[in-house]
């Protein structure tokens, strides 16, 4: 009950030189980023996909990603992929999880860092008509196959979003700057995939006191137009709510 311990010996003190050679030698892997880019359009939550660029996964949808170059910051690589594909700058982007199974990529060892991105589809609808890009309904994607381990990655990010959107004001990144409460509720219903009570939803958001009435109304609707609001990010940042409450 002790002899089986330490199959491998602990490392000895290392010089920078020794470590350098280790780092520069064989101990390297290819690193990529993959972006799960969510959009919200026609009251549906969508993900931006591209047809696989490998024969092995021909016809399968995959996430947008690319290799990280050795002199490139991780986040920068994810931003680059986004910029390339959507033409958008300054979008919401968060690292979610790193996927590193040995055989996840047919070309060899590629470890990938998954990012979740939320973009406002209205503001750049035209940019993505070219290529093999495609906005796919999240609902249908849950039941379909994808190339590589991208289904895994997608599901992880989707669950991350579902949880996160209830505790942080991420969702507004998917809406125009000015939005109606109906739009906001539709968004939450789409992400969480369930109906919410309209009155309670309104009460909830108004009681948080982060919505600013911009004094405008919806246009081009066939019914009484709703008021438009914007989210007060400044006020939210100041608040820094402490998270409390044990429950599982």
Residue numbers at the binding site for DNA (CB under 7 A): 180-182, 197-200, 202-204, 221-227, 244-245, 247
Cβ at position 187, least distance to DNA in Å: 13
For the sheet with 61-62, list strands across it: 61-62, 44-51, 133-137
Interface residue with a copy of itself, options 14, 134, 198, 235 (CB under 8 A): 14
- State which of positions 134-153 bind a copy of itself (CB under 8 A): none
Cβ at position 45, least distance to DNA in Å: 19
Given a copy of itself, DNA, none, residue 70, with its beta carbon under 5 to 8 Å by kind, binds: a copy of itself
Given a copy of itself, DNA, none, residue 224, with its beta carbon under 5 to 8 Å by kind, binds: DNA
Interface residue with a copy of itself, options 42, 43, 56, 206 (CB under 8 A): 56
User: Does residue 90 come out as left (phi exceeding 0), alpha (psi in the -120 to 50 range) or beta?
Assistant: left
In whole angstroms, what is the distance from residue 70 CA to residue 47 CA? 28
Pick between residue 9 and residue 222 the one whose CB is nearest to a copy of itself: 9
What are the angstrom distances between the C-alpha of 88 and each of 128, 164, 179?
11, 23, 20
Given a copy of itself, DNA, none, residue 176, with its beta carbon under 5 to 8 Å by kind, binds: none
In whole angstroms, what is the distance from residue 157 CA to residue 37 CA? 10
Q: For 132, what's the count of Cα atoms within 13 Å in the CB-facing half-sphere? A: 11
Pick between residue 79 and residue 179 the one whose CB is nearest to DNA: 179
In whole angstroms, what is the distance from residue 130 CA to residue 110 CA? 28
Given DNA, a copy of itself, none, residue 110, with its beta carbon under 5 to 8 Å by kind, binds: a copy of itself
Do 141 and 194 meet the contact criterion of CB atoms below 8 Å apart? no
* Pairing mode of beta strands 133-137, 110-118: unpaired
- Asked if 113 is part of the footprint of a copy of itself (rule: CB under 8 A), the reply reads yes
Pick between residue 169 and residue 176 the one whose CB is nearest to a copy of itself: 169
Pick between residue 10 and residue 215 the one whose CB is nearest to a copy of itself: 10
Q: Which residue's structure tokens are 């520069």?
A: 24
């Amino acid at each position: 009950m002790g002899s089986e311990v330490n199959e491998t010996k602990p490392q000895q003190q290392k010089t920078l030189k020794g470590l350098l050679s280790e780092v520069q030698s064989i101990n390297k892997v290819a690193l990529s980023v993959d972006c799960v880019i969510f959009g919200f359009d026609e009251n549906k939550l969508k993900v931006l996909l591209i047809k696989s660029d490998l024969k092995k996964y021909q016809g399968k949808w995959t996430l947008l990603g690319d290799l990280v170059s050795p002199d490139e910051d991780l986040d920068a690589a994810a931003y680059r992929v986004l910029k390339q594909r959507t033409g958008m700058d300054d979008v919401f982007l968060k690292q979610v999880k790193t996927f590193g199974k040995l055989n996840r990529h047919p070309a060899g060892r590629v470890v990938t860092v998954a990012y979740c991105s939320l973009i406002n589809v209205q503001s750049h609808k035209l940019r993505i008509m070219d290529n093999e890009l495609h906005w796919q309904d999240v609902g249908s994607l849950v039941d379909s196959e994808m190339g590589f381990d991208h289904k895994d990655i997608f599901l992880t990010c989707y669950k991350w979003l579902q949880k996160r959107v209830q505790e942080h004001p991420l969702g507004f990144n998917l809406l125009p700057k000015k939005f109606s409460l109906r739009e906001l509720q539709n968004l939450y219903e789409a992400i969480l995939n369930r109906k919410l009570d309209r009155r309670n939803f309104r009460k909830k958001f108004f009681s948080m006191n982060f919505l600013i009435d911009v004094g405008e109304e919806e246009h081009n609707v066939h019914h009484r137009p709703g008021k438009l609001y914007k989210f007060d990010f400044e006020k939210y940042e100041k608040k820094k709510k402490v998270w409390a409450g044990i429950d599982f």
